[in-house]
Amino acid sequence: MTNQLNIAMAQLNQRVGDLAGNAAAMLEWRVKAGPADLIVFPEQQLIGYPAEDLVLKPAFAARAAEQLAKLAAATADGGPAMLVGSIFVDDGALYNGIALLDGGRIAAVRYKHELPNYGTFDEKRIFAAGPLPEPVEFRGVRLGAPICEDGWLAPVSLHLKERGAELLISTNGSPYEIDKDDRRLEEVFAARVRETGLPLMFLNRVGGQDELVFDGSSFVLNADGAVAHRLPDWEEHLRMTHWHRSAGGWECADGPKALWEEHPADIYSAMVVGLRDYVDTNRFPGVVLGMSGGIDSALCAAIAADALGPDRVWCVMLPSRYTSQSSLHDAAECAAMIGCKIDTIPISPAVEAFDDMLSDSFADRDVDITEENIQSRIRGLTLMALSNKFGHMLLTTGNKSEMSVGYATIYGDMAGGYNPLKDAYKMTVFAISKWRNGHKPRFALGRDGPVIPDNIITKPPSAELRPDQKDSDSLPDYPILDKMLHALVEEERSVDEVVALGFDRDAVTRIERLLYLAEYKRRQAPPGVKLGTRNFGRDRRYPITNAFRSGG
């Protein structure tokens, strides 16, 4: 029986489906862990998380087992044992689990008991639930190993305590949400420590995977609830923790306590990390986007420059006859401040050609939103042509307020491969634009100092598709609209409940109607990083054909 343990926490990124690459990375980090007795990796680190229906392919599960066996064999060298998350096939059932690899073999396997089935998670559709897990014996120490949701709820940890666990090691794939890092520590896992009287290690991954982004923010709590370690957010990190057994049980020696980002810095960093990993993992040389002179495209360009470096960002101004000189100036100034390339391609020739092409068909119809949408679709077509020719991924720039009410043109400004602002309401766009002009994330690749001209932030938003157009012509002012939308979307309130908050009934009824009508557009929209609790994607799955209206 040992009275000392050195446990390394490997807060890592991953690549879904890259089984050999993920295994090789774990072995590299094992070498870095040096004298550790045990190195711990996040949930499903071997296969990448979430692998979704990839795990249902028999060949995928078989290759995961092969790589796990190779990792186990590597521990025959006498170096650190490994606690590795993967998938396991047992008696025909598929499990989300972890394996303790030690002495050249798979020493123990435990399966996840609590399968989350809400928001972004649908594990009950994919995995079988394991039994309440027993502790794992390691060097004479009984380790409890709750896997992600197992630690978010009480039963597994309490069972492990009853079965003799001496400390808890919780491996996680916990996606970022606003204020979630503090909630994990102060509410959820602090509760597990109070309930069991055991110290606890919480290990999370970092990096982006499609709509999800993982913020790390791992930590260690001693049995008295005191924080012994806090790992940085957003960055890969290896932390050695030193444990000793006393009369009162196991205790972790005090270590560094990183400061985690506060709001709205965390939102901006989530956008940067999500975009960076999406572009780099899918091997795009860079991004291209339409630069309108408005705040949404300016912020997207700034995010892209911080994620990829200014030299990989290509902005294109696509003016029509309604584009103001002010917008042309603002777009050019913003690109110069960011340090990225900007080109100008006027769309007037194409607009005139479409007017001529459709003149007979439209002869008995008044000019309306159709002509506005044609302009947007010409811009989308032009940008997609540049993307096809040069390989840059096209960014879309619509915010959540617009996407909620359908104020985005399908096959126009919605065309593209990824949208950093997809889950950011318009007022959030304003807030983080102002923040970025005075700050920069520590890992950002863009320029220091302001990157968005003040005029872009302060001028009234406009699509500039007709003379003197402003968003407020047909929508409530954004401070009002966003509060309505937050109540309708994030809080799932009815029209009556939103009206009771002090809003006009006719306005709320109209916004709810627009919200439901736009579902077909959102179903065809590109992915974008999840920020809140109800993003338009994995969190919120509404039918396109839907006659329900809570306002009657």
* Residues with catalytic function: 43, 112, 148
SS3 74: helix
Q: Which one-letter amino acid corresponds to residue 28?
A: E
Q: Which one-letter amino acid corresponds to residue 180?
A: K
Q: Residue 40: which H helix or E strand, with range? A: strand 38-40
Instruction: Give Cα separations from 303 to 289, 380, 387, 474 (angstroms).
Output: 12, 20, 19, 29
Q: Residue 337: which H helix or E strand, with range? A: helix 325-338
Q: 225: Cβ–Cβ under 8 A, 6 or more apart, which residues?
A: 190, 193, 194
CA distance 125 to 116: 10
SS3 549: coil
Secondary structure percentages of the chain, helix, strand, coil, to 5:
40, 20, 40
CA distance 229 to 39: 16
CA distance 518 to 513: 9
CA distance 412 to 348: 16
CA distance 317 to 289: 9
Q: Which one-letter amino acid corresponds to residue 528?
A: G
Q: Pick from 531, 501, 498: which is nearest to 513 by CA? A: 498
Q: Are 213 and 175 in contact (CB under 8 A)?
A: yes
Q: Which residue's structure tokens are 């999500």?
A: 274
Q: Are 142 and 5 in contact (CB under 8 A)?
A: no
Q: Pick from 142, 206, 203: which is nearest to 171 by CA? A: 203
**Phi and psi for 345 in degrees, rounded to 5?**
-130, 100
Q: Are 234 and 206 in contact (CB under 8 A)?
A: yes
Q: Are 331 and 452 in contact (CB under 8 A)?
A: no
